[in-house]
Amino acid sequence: MSAFAIKGATAFVTGGASGIGLAIARALAGEGARVAIADIHADWLDAALGDASGPEIGTVLDVTDRAGWARARDQVEARLGPVDILVNNAGIGPDLNPLADMPPEHFDRLVAIKLTGTFNGIHTFVPGMRERRRGHVVNTASMAGLMASARLGAYTASKFAVVGLSEVLRAELEPHGVGVSVLCPGLTATRLAETSARAGVSKVSAGPSPARAALDPAIVGDLVVEGIRHNHLHIVTHGEYRPHVERRMARVLDAFDRVPVRNPDGIPTRQVQETEEENPE
């Protein structure tokens, strides 16, 4: 697949009124794209649209509302033309409870926004991209979609799911000329805690703030632009997490190494050897 032409494309970014979403919107606009942002917070949208270098239009959208997605698509495409770039970025943070103690409504809300919300965007815009044989989808997951940590249960589950969903979508769309990327950022300066509170998933204190400063979301925006342009499947922002992911993958591969070697009858070779030793001719 040749480099994707961002200039002149129409982009739709959810969770686009702040943080990573707004940074992606600004980066795409800087490359000449026509950008629409969607966010559940109307006041944040108003503030974001006041930036002349950023998105052109905004729409209030709850990503769990499928009828709202259809309305947003009609509104945006009537003004800017068919959407070529979809960025499913909307999300909320973890509540930091152990899974066994997590309020079920928190689990449901996290999964509904991050996982089902991502599917809703795909369902709304990807058929048109596939028909036109042009487009790119970016799904925001997290470093928590590549490695697991305690007290991030529903958050991690939804992020792992978004990674898998994105890899499936890429396999399905590659024959149609549509690219797919999954963004896996580490700690980035966003308004995620405030978003979580507004969504009714209160983020409890996790203790002292991390020593390492949060990444400037503008850097993430630039990385996403490169990922779209070159159709990178995985977009990672924090290289220091590589050893953690390597250890996880090593554990997965180790499980394969423990699978018994079987003969053509499906019997583990060790068992065959033990049977022969017990019943010598």
53-74 pLDDT tens trace: 778 999 999 999 999 999 999 9
pLDDT tens per residue, range 6-33: 999 999 999 999 999 999 999 999 999 9
The DSSP string of the chain is -PPP--TT-EEEEETTTSHHHHHHHHHHHHTT-EEEEEES-HHHHHHHTT-TTS-SEEEE--TT-HHHHHHHHHHHHHHH-S--EEEE----------GGGS-HHHHHHHHIIIIIHHHHHHHHHHHHHHHHT-EEEEEE--GGGTS--TT-HHHHHHHHHHHHHHHHHHHHHGGGTEEEEEEE--SB--SHHHHHHHTT------SSPPSSPPBPHHHHHHHHHHHHHHT-SEEE--GGGHHHHHHHHHHHHHHHHTSPPB-TTS-BHHHHHHHHHHS--
- State whether 48 and 165 are in the same domain: yes
What are 100-144's pLDDT values in tens digits?
Answer: 999 999 999 999 999 999 999 999 999 999 999 999 999 999 999
32: phi > 0 → left, psi -120 to 50 → alpha, else beta; which? left
Same structural domain, 198 and 248: no
Same domain, 158 and 255: no
pLDDT for residue 14: 98
Res 3: pLDDT: 93
Amino acid at 162: V
Residue that has been written with the tokens 């930091």 in this structure: 96
Report how far residue 175's alpha carbon sits from residue 66's, in angstroms, rounded to the nearest whole number.
27
One domain, residues 120 and 164: yes
The reply to whether 274 and 141 lie within a common domain is: no
Q: Would you say residue 1 lies in a domain? A: no
Q: Which domain holds residue 255?
A: 243-281
The domain tally of the chain equals 2
Let me know whether 52 and 167 are in one domain: yes
* Higher pLDDT, residue 192 or 225: 225
Is there a catalytic annotation at residue 155? yes
Same domain? For 126 and 227 the reply is yes
| Domain assignment present for 3 | no
CB atoms within 10 A of CB 200: 12
pTM over 0.75: yes
Mean pLDDT over residues 75-85, rounded? Answer: 98
Q: Which of 219, 237, 255 is the last residue of a domain?
A: 237
90 vs 249: CA distance, rounded Å? 28
**Residue 164: phi, psi to the nearest 5?**
-65, -45
Across the range 141-162, mean pLDDT stands at 96
CA atoms of 192 and 90, how far apart (whole Å):
10
Catalytic option among 155, 163, 183, 191: 155
Same domain as 128, residue 258: no
194 with 267, same domain: the answer is no
Does 112 map to a domain?
yes
Query: Is 232 part of any domain?
Result: yes
Phi, psi torsion values for 208, nearest 5 degrees: -60, 150
Per-residue confidence (pLDDT) for residue 278, from 0 to 100: 60
Q: What percent of the chain has pLDDT over 90?
A: 80
Shared domain for 61 and 151, answered yes or no, is yes
For the chain, the average pLDDT equals 90
Residues 113, 163, 55, CA angle at the centre, nearest 5°?
Answer: 60
Residues 148, 84 share a domain: yes
What integer pLDDT is reported at residue 224 of this predicted model?
Answer: 98
- Angle between the N-to-C axes of helices 117-132 and 153-173, in degrees from 0 to 180, rounded to the nearest 10: 10
Whether residue 123 is found in the same domain as residue 211: yes
pLDDT band per the 50, 70, 90 thresholds, residue 254: very high
Token reading at 268 = 């583990």
